[in-house]
Structure 1
Amino acid sequence: MSVVGIDFGTYSCYIAVARAGGIETIANEYSDRQTPSYISFNEKNRCMGVAAKQQAVMKFKNTVAGIKRLVGRKYNDSRAQREMKIQFSQNDIFHDTKDGNIFIKVDYLGENQQFSPEQITAMLFTKLKLTAEAALKTKVVDVVISVPSYCTDVERRAFLDASQMAGLNCLRLLSDTTAASLAYGIYKQDLPAENEKGRNVVIVDMGYAALQVSICSFHKGKLKVLAVSNDPDLGGRNFDQLLLHQFSEEFKTKYKIDVMSRPKAYIRLLQECEKLKKLMSANTQKIPLNVECLMDDKDVTSGMDRTTFEELASKAGLLTRVENTMRAILDYSNVKLGDVHSVEVVGGSSRLPCVKALVNKVFNMEPSTTLNSDEAVSRGCALQCAILSPTFRVRDFNITDCQPYSITLHYTGSVEDENSLEVFSKFHPIPFSKMLTFYRKEPFELTARYTYPKEVPYPSDLIASFKINNIVPHANGDSNKVKLKVRINNQGIFVIPSASMYEKLDQDEDKDQESMDVDDEEKKAEESSSGETMKSDDSPESEVKKAKKTTRSIDLPIESSFLQLPKHQLTAHTDSELKFNNQDKLEKERLDAKNAVEEYVYDMRDKLGGIYEQYATEDDRNALTLNLEDTENWLYEDGEDVNKEAYVDKLKEIKNKGDPIKTRYQEAQVRPAVFDELGKSILQYRKFLDEWAKKDEKYDHIDKADVDKVDKCARDKMDWYEKHLNLQKQTPLHQDPPISSHEINEQRKALDAVCKSIVNKPKPKVEPPKEEKKEEKKDDAKNGAGDKGTSEANDSTKPPNPNATPDMEVD
């Protein structure tokens, strides 16, 4: 089973796999380990990754990038609206007024279709899955996927839906910074030992679309994330947008063009600004910016140096926001600056010199670059997947993440303070479970919400709603005890997995039954990983103390309502993705067949006037050339868009005329060497016959009957060799050869099959005479006696053996 980790970024993705005792980053079909998060829709298929990014300028309306920023969000979301202006201005966005969802309209398969962000994300997951399967030569199902640390419950569920549509089993959604911390902890060899103090490491992850900072503690093979600080709208693209607006304003005055009004010009200038930013990060001198025919057939030129760029970023407040996000992590975690061991920077935009300078300023130390900035997150995900997989043995490493936002549970349908309870505080360790105790006579409802909505980068504070059913009062009318298990699971999602009602038993019931029920209740209370039992505000402490332990447990059904796709829609989208994937495969096969025809036409036409010229008559060459021209015209006219079978038939047709020429050429190249090998083998066996006739001692053990076999076979092959060699010399090059190299090889193999074992027959082993053997035994005996010492060998008082035989009789 494969163990795969996916770093699903806003504009690029990385895939890592655990195998051969290490972690590898997988390359795509372009031998590039980075796969762009682009997808382009065409009339017959979808292009994803590198191919889609190459079409981003020419087919901008049908190309989608950066879809990660819209996953799990509604159309009226202020962040979604801002994202649509920045990244999706060239796309046709559709507002589903019924549910408030976002859909992107594209022309696909000859019709206008609309897809949700989750569906497009599933398409990209499919691309990454196929890339991994092609590299690993096995099916990929289990994965760990990275998500931003600021992702809310709703967004995490949306990512899980997208992975399921792609046929992936997501074992865990792992925060970007936690994945990078895990990669750091596994590869760093000087982590604290069992008896040493824990080590605090800050991870600064500045990607293209967001900045995330976390601080984690390593101690005794454990990784614990203490706190996270992030700014979801601050990343490398903010610096690109800064350059874009600067140059667009300059070009308005200098060239009288408005780049922002044309999608194609906007995309091209943005790409050039990204290149310029990277060049300024590596150079201090002024870097030129030149774009040909940017807009209205006008070539534009400008430039900028690093100092000017950093001044612009400072005036725009970007550097201040970066610094504040870094400083906040120390306040959140209550870790002193002196207790920070190192600061590891990851993410493509962490290469900006101004960002590294801020790391030094805030943490008073140089940033560390132990990890590969681009691949660290995917490697950490692969390691987590290996830890979760039962088929892999990895070093024991315990991982504890943290919940970025506090969660409050409101019950009985009220959001008033007296009817609510904060169950998980900010930066609470996860995964984690708690037990809550209520006293109820009838079913009741609970609602999970974020405690401080303004801290959450999502318009709604609602997480989920739950209804606990089948609650009844006791026979005497009292309330029954109800226990709920609340949990934040591996995915970072809040759930209520179980609920139980504890009914009081009458005193006259079976004592064994009472004892069993008590044990069962205690087991359920201990299911919490923390061992903590919490009570609701309406369960007085005095009542709990008076409660008898003579109860029985009854599991209660829970109705859950999440902001997530219904099952029937999820199933429909999964089927659609499978259908689209099959369509892509069919189209790829069709295009491969078409390319095979085109390649054969160009290759044959080029060689027909070159290396193949001597192997065809002039009439044959002219006829084939005409056929090739007709095929080429057919490809760009009637054969432009036909099915795979038509291309297969066309290729077969032209190969019937072209392959005989190709075969004659190939045979002419190979045949001389093969003939030579057969001739050498015949001469080798003739030499053996001559030496045997001269009574050479090497072969005097071989019987005459076997020698006669070699002689007959060698003569037959020599006759065959001379006959066909002369026949071949008389055959013109433009005619099919009378004998093929394969047939010549078969003759040589037949010769060896008869003669080789006879020629290499070993001589029989000659036994030495008996007298020599006896002398050798005597010598061995003497040597053995000498080894035992002279006193034993010369002992004349030792009585003779009556059974011994005299040496003379042996002779």
Structure 2
Amino acid sequence: HGRAFNDPFVQKEKEKLSYDLVPMKNGGVGVKVMYMDEEHIFSVEQISAMLLTKLKETAESNLKKPVTDCVISVPSFFTDAERRSLLDAAQIVGLNCLRLMNDMTAVALNYGIYKQDLPAPEEKPRIVVFVDMGHSAFQVSACAFNKSKLKVLGTAFDPFLGGRNFDGKLVDYFCAEIKSKYKLDPKAKVRALLRLYQECEKLKKLMSSNSTDIPLNIECFMNDTDVSGKMNRSQFEELCADLLQRIEMPLLSLMEQTQLKVEDVTAVEIVGGATRIPAVKERIAKFFGKDVSTTLNADEAIARGCALQCAILSPAFKVREFSVTDATPFPISLLWNTEAEDTEGVHEVFSRNHAAPFSKVLTFYRKGPFELEAFYSDPNGVPYPESKIGRYIIQNVAAQKDGEKSKVKVKVRVNTHGIFSVSTASMVEPVKSEESEDVNVETEVESQDQRPIENSSDTNEKKGDQPPEAKKPKIKVKNVDLPIEANLVWELGKELLNMYIETEGKMIMQDKLEKERNDAKNAVEEYVYEFRDKLSGPYEKFVCEKDLQGFSALLTETEGWLYEEGEDEAKQVYVDKLEDLKKLGTPIETRYQEAEERPKLLEELGHRLQYYATIAGEFRNKDEKYIHIDEMEMMKVEKCVSEVVEWMNNAVSAQAKKSLDQDPAVHSSEIKAKLQELNNVCEPVVTQPKPKVDSPKEENPLNERSDFKPEDMGEDEKNSEMPQQNGECHPSDQNTISMDLD
């Protein structure tokens, strides 16, 4: 990513690859492939975009929803050019990369967010060192943890030391052994060499868990020759002694950068597949004088850290607050021309391991447009042949009205992706008092210090070595935004990027069409195999001998066509082929299904007829359950039952005359329709509820008059015995039956 074709690193990698690398028109790296039976050259960005497209499709398939946002991990030693190239790859796919996250920072987040016992913010932080040796690189970082907070103190790396280097040592050893023992040269054939790499990787993994001799056997390796060999762990470690010695260098570099002592380190966490090699683990443990920890998933730690970061940045997920402060891996400086002839100004704006993301404001005094050049201060420490990052031209700068230099504020930033940029520039202009009401102004103290640059952290300017403060006149000023023209060391350009986006879109559509074509082809193949099996099984009785022979011959013919001239046809050809097969197959399939369903449906119809006939009989016998039903309605039921019985007898009689290999006289759909018709007519009649009969009300002569009062009673009535109330709504009764109610 972000490298020229003639880059020494690319040329070295080119020798190990099974595919061809070629130069692109813009000097970048291209990959030559066969696509749609034609030779194509795709850029590295396009190849990565294809991989991201596949990952996007996999995620969408599992989530059952579209995916647009992502976090992508990169090695911490990636330069600006490499990071921008990867962001372009994400843009080609249409993914919104929320953050390019350094591998080791992702690991640290994965480690820290689940820790409940981290020290409070005001307490001394816990120092943890993370060591990652993956397939191609070795990275280490030191991180300080407090509650809900992580700060990367420093990083170190060996970009050319990884698991594949150990595989390479084994491959070289066995290549020499095979050459002397079998007179074969595995490096002469790419396919053979790839097989040897795969077997050596398996051997390496087995030696990590076994110290005994492990055999290596490859059948039909080259020229139908089987090859074999063996190795044990001690031999392997001796073979890789020079690689093992390189482990300490990044560890030493990290401790020097961060000014940490071994005793300051609380834990050493290892991740990456190659850290499973016992000798690698021992070297790391020996350096720190303590056992290494393997609490993280060695293969997934980085991906999980990215997933957590994505969840933190997404409004759709609720994640506990966790602050992440990264570090810039390389020091970055700015270069500019001064007003004096043949002189240049240089300033290191971001030191190594400076906190990121971070912004600084630089102040220049100029009468016209000027240029800034960003570069890596220590070219030898950057694993990239070009130390320059880019040139930035600050445009539209003009002298003040009185001819004096204008004050220009330039904001430089290392963003969340770890990419340096000159983000904004503005010219400070004095404002007349009558204009101040109409513009956004700020009050500024006039400084006599005419140095070419003032460095400030965030927006608070450092005034440097200035004379003691004196009372200075305050003037009102306004900031005028200035355009910036950026010429970066590596960028695709809008036109090329848009072309790649368009090409990727076309290929995605082509993939969908190809999938549909393959699905259509597979449908024909599946139909041939499935039907042929069933013709000699359950479908055998449902096709006559003549049709069976013709259809079997057509199936065999179609199978042969699929693997010969029909192997690569258009989707519609397969669709038509399947339709031709179904014209013969569907009637057979229908007869089988009808024979399976018909008896069950006739039996169900018979049960319903018997049920309604029984009710009609009970009605005629004056059964109390149905005596409330109207005579005319019951006659409708009897008529419907009679008609359906007659239809059913005729259908059964007609079907009995048909053989199984003939189309049925009556179909399941007709029986279902009759059953529905029967239920629609009879069910509402037989399920009529009995009418409710109101019970007679008990007469109470005392309550006949609504205006009755006790004083209206005569003397005799008053003396007569009145029923006594028991406090409830019924009179007390000695004969009341006691009931237990649940």
TM-score (norm 1): 0.79
User: What is the distance in 2 between the residues matched to 1:148 and 1:780?
Assistant: 94
**Partner residue, 2:727:** 782
8 Å CA contact 1:413–1:445 kept in 2: the answer is no
Moved more, 234-243 or 764-773: 764-773
**Partner residue, 2:594:** 667
User: What is the distance in 2 between the residues matched to 1:663 and 1:521?
Assistant: 94
Query: Deviations along 1:386-444, whole A, 9 cap, x unmatched?
Result: 22223333322222211111111111289999611111111111111111111111111
User: What is the distance in 2 between the residues matched to 1:333 and 1:211?
Assistant: 18
SS of the aligned residue for 1:395 comes to coil
Change (3 A) 1:147 1:700: farther
**Partner residue, 1:91:** 19
SS of the aligned residue for 1:233 comes to coil
8 Å CA contact 2:444–2:474 kept in 1: the answer is no
Change (3 A) 1:460 1:725: same
Moved more, 763-772 or 284-293: 763-772
8 Å CA contact 2:362–2:456 kept in 1: the answer is no
**Partner residue, 2:2:** 72
Matched, 1:719 2:646: yes
Moved more, 561-570 or 392-401: 392-401
User: What is the distance in 2 between the residues matched to 1:217 and 1:189?
Assistant: 15
User: What is the distance in 2 between the residues matched to 1:772 and 1:667?
Assistant: 69
User: What is the distance in 2 between the residues matched to 1:773 and 1:567?
Assistant: 101
User: What is the distance in 1 between the residues matched to 2:159 and 2:470?
Assistant: 45
Change (3 A) 1:180 1:766: farther
Which segments of 5 or more consecutive residues in structure 1 lack a partner in the other structure? 1-70, 787-811
**Partner residue, 1:153:** 80
8 Å CA contact 1:514–1:552 kept in 2: the answer is no
User: What is the distance in 2 between the residues matched to 1:705 and 1:365?
Assistant: 99
User: What is the distance in 1 between the residues matched to 2:729 and 2:602?
Assistant: 63
Matched, 1:510 2:434: yes
The code of the aligned residue for 1:557 comes to P
8 Å CA contact 1:407–1:425 kept in 2: the answer is yes
**Partner residue, 2:332:** 407
Change (3 A) 1:606 1:468: same
**Partner residue, 1:496:** 422
Change (3 A) 1:222 1:431: same
1:175-574 to structure 2, matched below 5 A, reads: 175-192=102-119, 198-313=125-240, 315=241, 317-412=242-337, 419-505=345-431, 509-510=433-434, 512-513=436-437, 517-518=441-442, 530-533=458-461, 548-562=474-488, 563-574=490-501
Change (3 A) 1:756 1:516: same
Moved more, 299-308 or 649-658: 299-308
SS of the aligned residue for 2:113 comes to helix
SS of the aligned residue for 2:84 comes to helix
User: What is the distance in 2 between the residues matched to 1:100 and 1:438?
Assistant: 36
**Partner residue, 1:166:** 93
User: What is the distance in 2 between the residues matched to 1:430 and 1:123?
Assistant: 30
8 Å CA contact 1:224–1:401 kept in 2: the answer is yes
The code of the aligned residue for 2:107 comes to A
Change (3 A) 1:605 1:448: same
User: What is the distance in 1 between the residues matched to 2:43 and 2:670?
Assistant: 63
Q: Per-residue deviation at 1:500?
A: 0.7
Change (3 A) 1:350 1:736: farther
Q: Per-residue deviation at 1:636?
A: 3.2
Moved more, 103-112 or 204-213: 103-112
8 Å CA contact 2:361–2:457 kept in 1: the answer is no
8 Å CA contact 1:94–1:102 kept in 2: the answer is yes
User: What is the distance in 1 between the residues matched to 2:63 and 2:199?
Assistant: 36
Q: Supply the RMSD in Å over aligned alpha carbons.
A: 3.5
If you compute each CA radius of gyration, which structure gives the higher value, 1 or 2? 2
Of 102, 107, 122, which aligns to 2:29?
Answer: 102
Of 602, 606, 610, which aligns to 2:529?
Answer: 602
Q: Per-residue deviation at 1:321?
A: 2.2
Moved more, 658-667 or 670-679: 670-679
SS of the aligned residue for 1:782 comes to coil
Moved more, 408-417 or 112-121: 408-417
Q: Per-residue deviation at 1:359?
A: 4.0
SS of the aligned residue for 2:196 comes to helix
Change (3 A) 1:398 1:745: farther
Which segments of 5 or more consecutive residues in structure 2 lack a partner in the other structure? 447-452, 702-722, 732-742
Moved more, 265-274 or 414-423: 414-423
8 Å CA contact 1:449–1:464 kept in 2: the answer is yes
Q: How many residues align?
A: 702
Q: Per-residue deviation at 1:564?
A: 0.6
User: What is the distance in 2 between the residues matched to 1:685 and 1:768?
Assistant: 33
8 Å CA contact 2:408–2:425 kept in 1: the answer is yes
Change (3 A) 1:612 1:702: same
Query: Deviations along 1:449-470, whole A, 9 cap, x unmatched?
Result: 1111111110011111101111
Q: Per-residue deviation at 1:714?
A: 3.9
User: What is the distance in 2 between the residues matched to 1:724 and 1:785?
Assistant: 67
Moved more, 351-360 or 451-460: 351-360
Change (3 A) 1:758 1:557: same
1:728-767 to structure 2, matched below 5 A, reads: 728-760=655-687
Query: Deviations along 1:622-661, whole A, 9 cap, x unmatched?
Result: 1112222322333233323221111111111111012211
Change (3 A) 1:169 1:515: closer
User: What is the distance in 2 between the residues matched to 1:703 and 1:339?
Assistant: 99
User: What is the distance in 1 between the residues matched to 2:470 and 2:365?
Assistant: 10
Query: Deviations along 1:26-63, whole A, 9 cap, x unmatched?
Result: xxxxxxxxxxxxxxxxxxxxxxxxxxxxxxxxxxxxxx
SS of the aligned residue for 1:473 comes to coil
Query: Deviations along 1:457-484, whole A, 9 cap, x unmatched?
Result: 1001111110111111122222111101
SS of the aligned residue for 1:565 comes to coil
Q: Per-residue deviation at 1:697?
A: 6.2
8 Å CA contact 1:436–1:534 kept in 2: the answer is no
User: What is the distance in 1 between the residues matched to 2:303 and 2:319?
Assistant: 17
Change (3 A) 1:736 1:359: farther
Q: Per-residue deviation at 1:294?
A: 0.9
**Partner residue, 2:711:** none
SS of the aligned residue for 1:107 comes to strand
8 Å CA contact 1:437–1:534 kept in 2: the answer is no
